[in-house]
Amino acid sequence: MSSIVPPPVARWAATVCEVVATEQIHQHCAVFIAVPGLDGLVLAGQLWGAGDDSGAVLVGEWVVPLHGSVCGRVYREGRPALVADTSGDPEYRTYPGALARSELAVPIVAEGETVGVLNLESPRPATFRIVDLERSLDHARRAGEAFAAANLGALLGALLGSDDRTT
């Protein structure tokens, strides 16, 4: 499968993860985005921390469903999720190499519309606190502003509106 994430969007998402990693403890930092015509969120960027990268979770190919996943719920509802113990959330979806026991996911909003989700996972239960949530909301706000300023939503629509998804 080829990547359905245009390079400018992948660069934006990678930058978001790099910035977040300077301030957040995590195993895995990921940015998922909504893609026109896809009933899920595609991984646009990621940064592995202490976790074990199996090589199976690929940017532009890994998709989480809008229903039945924490990130999907955050996207649909536009509200953050602070999951102290992933084993207690029926919508938590694991992935290859995952050691996650806690998760923090916040919506990324650009021009009033949710465009994606910033997702942090840690191998320890109850890693994330309210201060981490507040910090992540600020990161997501700035990510949304950068997304809008770079006109990435229009780029996604234009590029993925056609049948050619091999950018």
Q: Which domain holds residue 33?
A: 7-160
Residue type, 117: V
Q: Is the residue at 12 inside a domain? A: yes
pTM exceeding the 0.85 threshold for the entire prediction? yes
107-154 pLDDT tens trace? 999 999 999 999 999 889 999 999 999 999 999 999 999 999 998 888
**Residue 12: which CATH number?**
3.30.450.40
At residue 99, the pLDDT reads: 77
Q: Is the residue at 166 inside a domain? A: no
What is the CA 3 to chain-centroid distance, rounded?
16
Question: Cα separation of 156 and 133, whole Å?
Answer: 28
Residue among 59, 19, 47, 46 at smallest CA distance from 146: 19
Question: Cα separation of 127 and 164, whole Å?
Answer: 41
Question: Cα separation of 43 and 127, whole Å?
Answer: 23
* Total domains in the fold of the chain: 1
Q: Is the residue at 86 inside a domain? A: yes
Q: Is the residue at 1 inside a domain? A: no
What's the whole-number average pLDDT of the chain? Answer: 87
36-70 pLDDT tens trace? 888 899 999 998 875 566 677 888 889 999 999 99
